[in-house]
Amino acid sequence: MSENLFGLTVAADKGLDDLQCQRLLSENRKYQEVMLQYRCALKALESRLEILNEEFSLQHDRNPIESMKSRLKSPSSIMNKMQKRGLSLDFPTMQANIMDIAGVRVICSFEEDVFFLAKCLKEQSDIEIITEKDYISHPKPNGYRSLHLTIRLPVFFAEKEIRVPVEIQLRTIAMDFWASEIETELKECADSSREWDGKMEHLLHILT
């Protein structure tokens, strides 16, 4: 057994259950304080994107953003990612190394809108670009297309300013539909694989 950064005790070789984690973390003050930073960073970024959307709409009589969806990585997902990378299980290590705890997916009308929004964000003086991956100009071998930016932006609290990383995925409606289809197919393949593994294990027990 090993103690993890959330103050939970779990078997080192087993994945974490999200429902159990959330229940136990509801009274973990340090975890709540850290995740507050990421939630506020999402709100700050969404506000900036909404301003760009409204400005563009006023100037061009159409909206470049069709929809936005934000998410925070689940406790189990964070823990499992850190374990796979062999990282020390503490909050400073998490904050310094896991850059996609907070994420925003922006669905645009056209491909040119993707690059326009990315350019606007990159030109904002208080935003730091950590990474940029252009899978639109250079699609992945499986055909996946999207523009990924990892940025760090300031979040202002009552007595301090904290710079928080957020991952942004910008894509068109067609790109998002394709990615969703691939994700569904991959999940079905994974489910089938687990089912066959279970059957093979059952057969081995019978034969031995």
pLDDT per residue of the chain (208 residues) written in tens, 0 to 9: 445 677 765 544 455 566 667 666 766 888 889 999 999 999 999 999 999 999 999 999 999 999 999 999 988 888 889 989 999 888 999 999 999 999 999 999 999 999 999 999 999 999 999 999 999 999 998 889 999 999 999 999 999 999 999 999 999 999 998 888 766 655 555 455 556 555 566 566 666 6
Q: Please give the single-letter amino acid code of residue 34.
A: V
Distance, in Å, from the CA atom of 23 to the CA atom of 106, rounded to the nearest integer, reads 30
Q: What is the dihedral of CA 104, 106, 80, 200, to 10 degrees?
A: 160
pLDDT confidence of residue 9:
57
DSSP assignment of 28-71: -HHHHHHHHHHHHHHHHHHHHHHHHHHHHHHHHSS-SEEEEEEE
**Tokens 């003050």 sit on residue:** 29
Q: Extract the tokens encoding 9.
A: 């005790």
Cα 56 from chain centroid (whole Å): 26
- Against a cut of 0.85, is the pTM above it? no
pLDDT confidence of residue 2:
47
pLDDT confidence of residue 93:
93
102-108 vs 161-172, strand pairing mode = parallel
pLDDT confidence of residue 199:
59
pLDDT confidence of residue 131:
98
pLDDT confidence of residue 186:
54
Instruction: Tell me the β-bridge partners of 172.
Output: 108
The CA-to-CA distance between both ends of the chain, in Å, stands at 31
Phi, psi of 197 (to 5 degrees): -60, -40
